[in-house]
Amino acid sequence: MPAPEESVVHGSKARPQDLPSVDKLLRLPALQPLLEAHGATLLTREARTLLDGLRQLAVAGVLDGAQVQADALAQALAARVGDRLAPRMRRVLNLTGTVIHTNLGRSVLPAAAVAHLARMMEGPNNLEYDLAGGGRGDRDTLVEGLLCEITGAEAATVVNNNAAAVLLAIAALAGGREVIVSRGELVEIGGAFRMPDVMASAGAKMVEVGTTNRTHLADYARAISANTALLMKVHTSNYAVQGFTSAVGEAELAALGRERGVPLATDLGSGALVDMAQWGLPKEPMPQEMLAAGCGVVTFSGDKLLGGPQAGLIVGERALVQRIRKFPMKRTLRLSKLPLAALEATLALYLQPERLTQDLPTLRWLARPLAEVEAVARALLEPLRAAVAPRYEVQLAALSSQIGSGSLPVERLPSSGLAIAPVLPGRRGTGTALDALAAALRSLPEPVLGRVADDRLLLDCRCLDTPEPVLAQLPALQEALA
């Protein structure tokens, strides 16, 4: 077998015996910096995989001699190592028109949360240590004070998402007993998370009242029995029932609960902590309002309208929250130090509500003036036209964004962006051409994600603060389309 530094004739087909052993390959001078940087374990594994693949090509008689040259082998191995170490989670540009996109990580953390998170993860922190008393602490106290101040609750606790918050609250307050809920609120959210299944998993018996479209206070009153532990309201944040409908408000239901000695729990899901209407956005119920109406417990998400990390927040009466906090299931659902740090910093922003549209990316994008969005789209128009010509044509387009993640599902936000259509005789091949363009955009160093509608690829600019991240990648886009 020739040594790897020896050459075979360029243009000839390499034979299996022209390939070096793993040991000889790793002794190449060009690979020594790679060995020092990454160690022998990773390089040996990748070298073996590389040579196995090349050997199969050689046996098939299709391996070019140039591929077994020392420089080519070193470059191929370096590329394999780079690909292997590249993270699978990558930052992307969200031009889909959905602001809080479940598949894209929902809310984007504010800069203050990212900075605080980095500081806390760089060394030890007081996750469960009482700095004042010098003893063991409770991680809930890191955010409980902020949540109580913002919502007016007597107590608060947090878990890893809102589904967990609902499950835990029902299990702790109504395990083995009955929970009364309207048939019109038996929601299903993403991942087939259904309220009836949650009730069963929590060990509670669900008692349905009313009908799909109409439920009255008398329905709840008739259903209350000695075995009733909880009244439940579920905000239908991911759909809307319209027409001949009737639902019982929290204030009425809470009053009935107090009269009959049964607490009321409300699942808000989206969890807006400020009145969205002040920025011209649709009104969304807030935990503050639910608590003021008499709800004993309110659950909501941290990574939707709140604009923070994934978390399930539980606020309410001290006695009820204490029962939830002490329930054994709580430990299995608790937040780790990473989301807790991000949540604390995000909640602190709400102490300065006048700055929220500056400091909170999710709210900034939702409340963004249309003229500002259109200005970004116009700045991209001509450069993008040049990059995709002559295969595609690009037009400025009036678009409609949506809030996303089940928040205000029927509401739309006027937006602006670019509509890209293939230049084809007739419509034959349109789908294939759009797929190719979408794939090219996804292949960019910072992938650009849009949406296909009406035989066009739409790039909604609502969540694009400036045009530069797209402009900088247009040469790469041209190369990908070539």
Q: Is residue 315 part of a domain?
A: yes
Question: What integer pLDDT is reported at residue 423 of this predicted model?
Answer: 93
Q: Is residue 388 part of a domain?
A: yes
3 state SS of 424:
coil
CA dist list (Å): 162 to 5, 309, 457: 60, 12, 34
Quick: pLDDT tens for 88-146: 999 999 999 999 999 999 999 999 999 999 999 999 999 999 999 999 999 999 999 99
Q: Is residue 354 part of a domain?
A: yes
**428: pLDDT confidence band, cut at 50, 70 and 90?**
confident
User: How large is the average pLDDT for residues 160-172?
Assistant: 95
| CATH code assigned at 337 | 3.40.640.10
Q: Is residue 309 part of a domain?
A: yes
Same domain, 128 and 60: no
- Domain's final residue, options 333, 359, 385: 359
User: How large is the average pLDDT for residues 194-222?
Assistant: 90
Please state the φ and ψ torsions of residue 247, each to the nearest 5 degrees: -140, 155
User: How large is the average pLDDT for residues 77-92?
Assistant: 95
Q: Is residue 106 part of a domain?
A: no
Same domain, 169 and 191: yes
CB 462 within 8 A of CB 401: yes
Nearest to 463 by CA among 419, 395, 402: 402
Same domain, 236 and 166: yes
Rounded mean pLDDT of the chain? Answer: 92
Based on the structure, what is the number of domains in the chain? 3
315 forms beta bridges with: 156, 298
For residues 295 and 11, which has the higher predicted lDDT (pLDDT)? 295
User: How large is the average pLDDT for residues 152-174?
Assistant: 96
Same domain, 301 and 155: yes
Same domain, 267 and 174: yes
Q: Is residue 208 part of a domain?
A: yes
Same domain, 448 and 319: no
Same domain, 325 and 465: no
Quick: pLDDT tens for 325-372: 999 999 999 999 999 999 999 999 999 999 999 999 999 999 999 999
Q: What is the CA radius of gyration of the chain?
A: 29
Question: What integer pLDDT is reported at residue 282 of this predicted model?
Answer: 85
pLDDT at 410 over 60: no
- Domain's final residue, options 359, 383, 407: 359
Question: What integer pLDDT is reported at residue 134 of this predicted model?
Answer: 95
CB 140 within 8 A of CB 158: yes
For residues 91 and 237, which has the higher predicted lDDT (pLDDT)? 91
CB 19 within 8 A of CB 56: no
Same domain, 202 and 60: no
CA dist list (Å): 51 to 59, 97, 304: 12, 45, 48
CB 406 within 8 A of CB 240: no
Residue 69 belongs to domain spanning: 16-85
Same domain, 138 and 57: no
Same domain, 210 and 329: yes
- Domain's final residue, options 359, 382, 397: 359
Least confident of 192-196, 278-282, 329-333, 371-375: 192-196
Q: Is residue 373 part of a domain?
A: yes
Q: Is residue 8 part of a domain?
A: no
Same domain, 178 and 275: yes
| CATH code assigned at 411 | 3.90.1150.180
